[in-house]
């Protein structure tokens, strides 16, 4: 399951989707909005996506993970819009027979999402704002 | 024949131009690198972005890829999802 | 939070416990009962613990993880008793500022639990049963 | 003075002896290794376990650790949690 959503991510339904009688391991990674970036206090984040391409780039990453590991299930959900401190920005969930594959695949997916998927994050501080990674 | 392409802008590119898309003249045999040159002339502020890729029909495009008026073209500033 | 429990593990309350305004990453590992071991069909598992020592050995592992990484929160919950296919046997949850620490600490904790914590698992097949790791 | 220790058994050790604890004579100066020797004589079936550690008061004990009747002693077969 791959989705972009402007409403809060539901962990329970993601876990439900990952249920498999062959699964011995589930690794779930949650990216969360934290209250600071390099000690500068963050007020909120705004996520923007090129939806169609973001979904197809995530699909490529998931396909590549399926190619590298034997995955029994895989969920990627990314929030868009305004997110407050403590809110979940992204959920990656992977179910496998054995735990090493779950950890490796989950980590690969989040690392690669951060490199290739057209989603942009603006950090809004109390005294300004910045598009992350945009400036030299 | 003079045609043009509607180029989608996101994130900092949208903020710097104040527009979510811009019309760019598209001469015959225009390639991705030509489009970038044209856009940078039209909107010099975009030169301040660390890197700017181009997506054509939802796929990252190489600099020498030819463009047609039917293509969906987007500028991709450095991504920062997750 | 460290716990042994004979009732189903509640993911939502574990996540709730891991909430921290400084957290940017949460990694959650779930060990689940799968329907086979080396292609031999499993009917159910029975987990037994030397409770007092299991809790203190888990505490040592969590302390050591806190020593190696900067953890904002850590949850370890292990089931005991009879577990059916698809049930969660163990939950490890780690909250950190950055994701690499969450993955590394979570993996370290589950790997070490499997090596040192006095908990024993009996696999019950349709045609027999075996204490895992007990025989040469 | 003849004393004895109540040794807790778990997992396969409990299954092989049919008991969740066994009383083992504890002569003065008995160490962990002596206890294991005594138990293995009393319950030879336990020799079939891949390895058998001893915990004293909830901590893994070395072979030469001395035992007293006040200690809580447990046999720890290979663990398999998680």
**Residues B22 and B9 sit within 8 Å (Cβ to Cβ):** yes
* Chain A residues near residue C17 by CB distance under 8 angstroms: none
- pLDDT of A115 strictly over 90: yes
Whole-number mean pLDDT of chain A? Answer: 96
Superfamily of domain B3-76: Beta-grasp domain (3.10.20.30)
Here the tokens at position D41 are 């004589």
User: What are the E-state strand segments in A34-106?
Assistant: 36-37, 40-49, 73-79, 81-84, 88-96
Here the tokens at position B2 are 């003079």
Nearest to B11 by CA among B44, B53, B41, B42: B53
* Chain A residues near residue B79 by CB distance under 8 angstroms: 114-120, 133
Whole-number mean pLDDT of chain C? Answer: 96
Here the tokens at position D61 are 């004990």
pLDDT tens digits, one per residue of C22-72:
999 999 999 999 999 888 999 999 999 999 999 999 999 999 999 999 999
CA distances from A6 to A12, A78, B38, C5 (A): 17, 9, 34, 36
| A22: β partners | none
In angstroms, the CA C109 to CA D82 distance is 10
In angstroms, the CA A44 to CA A41 distance is 9
Mind listing the pLDDT tens digit of every residue in chain B (82 residues)?
568 889 999 999 999 999 999 999 888 899 999 999 999 999 999 999 999 999 999 999 999 999 998 999 999 999 999 9
Partner-chain contact A118 B10, CB within 8 Å: yes
Position B1 scores a pLDDT of: 52
In angstroms, the CA A111 to CA D78 distance is 36
Q: Are strands C128-131 and C88-96 parallel, antiparallel or unpaired?
A: unpaired
Q: Which of A50, A116, A122 sits opposite B8 (nearest CB)?
A: A50
Lowest mean pLDDT among A38-42, B73-77, C4-8: A38-42
Domain assignments of chain D as residue spans, ordered by start? 3-76
In angstroms, the CA C55 to CA A48 distance is 45
Enclosing H/E stretch for C4: strand C2-5
The ipTM is: 0.93
Confidence of residue A136 (pLDDT cuts 50, 70, 90): confident
Residue B79 DSSP one-character state = P
Position C39 scores a pLDDT of: 87
Q: Are strands C73-79 and C2-5 parallel, antiparallel or unpaired?
A: parallel
**Residues C92 and C75 sit within 8 Å (Cβ to Cβ):** yes
Position D28 scores a pLDDT of: 87
Position B2 scores a pLDDT of: 67
In angstroms, the CA A51 to CA A117 distance is 10
**A10: helix, strand or coil:** coil
pLDDT tens digits, one per residue of A64-105:
999 999 999 999 999 999 999 999 999 999 999 999 999 999
**Does the beta carbon of C11 lie under 8 angstroms from any beta carbon of chain A?**
yes
Put the strands of the sheet holding D73-76 in their side by side order. Answer: D21-26, D3-8, D73-76, D53-56, D59-60
Partner-chain contact B10 A122, CB within 8 Å: no
Chain A's closest residue to B52, CA to CA, is A134
Phi/psi-derived region of residue C38, left when phi > 0, alpha when psi is between -120 and 50, beta in every other case: left
In angstroms, the CA C47 to CA C83 distance is 8
Residue B45 DSSP one-character state = G
Chain C, 84 to 123: residues with Cβ < 8 Å from chain A are 85-86, 95, 97, 99, 102-103, 106-107, 110
Position C38 scores a pLDDT of: 85
| C95: β partners | C26, C73
In angstroms, the CA C15 to CA B79 distance is 28
Nearest to C134 by CA among A112, D46, D74, A62: D46
In angstroms, the CA B58 to CA D49 distance is 60
* Chain D residues near residue C50 by CB distance under 8 angstroms: 8, 10, 55, 74, 76
Q: Which of A27, A31, A75, A104 has the highest number of chain C CBs within 10 A, making it the mutation to test binding with C?
A: A27
Question: Which chains does chain B touch, 3 or more C-beta pairs < 8 A?
Answer: A
Position B76 scores a pLDDT of: 98
Chain A's closest residue to B57, CA to CA, is A53
CA distances from C29 to A77, C5, C54, C109, D81 (A): 18, 17, 19, 10, 14
B55 class by beta-carbon count within 10 Å (0-12 exposed, 13-18 middle, 19+ buried): buried
Q: Which of D49, D58, D74 sits opposite C134 (nearest CB)?
A: D49
- pLDDT of D60 strictly over 90: yes
- pLDDT of D1 strictly over 80: no
What domains sit in chain A, N to C, each tagged with a CATH number?
A: 2-126 (3.90.1170.40)
Residues 6+ apart with CB under 8 A from A39: none
End-to-end CA distance of chain C: 35
Partner-chain contact C115 D79, CB within 8 Å: yes
Sign of CA dihedral A63, A69, A88, A18: positive
**Residues A80 and A90 sit within 8 Å (Cβ to Cβ):** no
């Amino acid at each position: 399951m791959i989705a972009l959503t402007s409403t809060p991510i539901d962990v329970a339904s993601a876990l439900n989707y990952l249920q498999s009688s062959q699964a011995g391991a589930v690794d779930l990674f949650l990216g969360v909005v934290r209250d600071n970036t390099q000690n500068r206090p963050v007020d909120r984040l705004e996520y923007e996506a090129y939806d169609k391409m973001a979904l197809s780039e995530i699909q490529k990453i998931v396909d590549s993970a399926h190619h590298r590991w034997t995955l029994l299930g895989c969920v990627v959900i990314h929030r868009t819009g305004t997110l407050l401190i403590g809110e979940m920005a992204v959920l990656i969930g992977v179910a496998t027979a054995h735990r090493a594959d779950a950890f490796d695949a989950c980590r690969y997916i989040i690392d690669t999402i951060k490199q290739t998927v057209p989603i942009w994050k603006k950090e809004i501080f109390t005294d300004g704002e910045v598009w992350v990674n945009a400036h030299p | 024949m003079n045609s043009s392409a509607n180029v989608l802008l996101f994130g900092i590119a949208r903020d710097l131009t104040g527009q979510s898309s811009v019309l760019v003249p598209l001469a015959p045999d225009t390639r991705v690198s030509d489009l970038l040159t044209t856009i940078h002339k039209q909107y010099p502020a975009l030169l301040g972005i660390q890197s700017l890729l181009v997506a054509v029909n939802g796929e990252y495009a190489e600099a020498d890829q030819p463009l047609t008026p039917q293509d969906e073209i987007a500028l991709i500033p450095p991504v920062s999802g997750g």
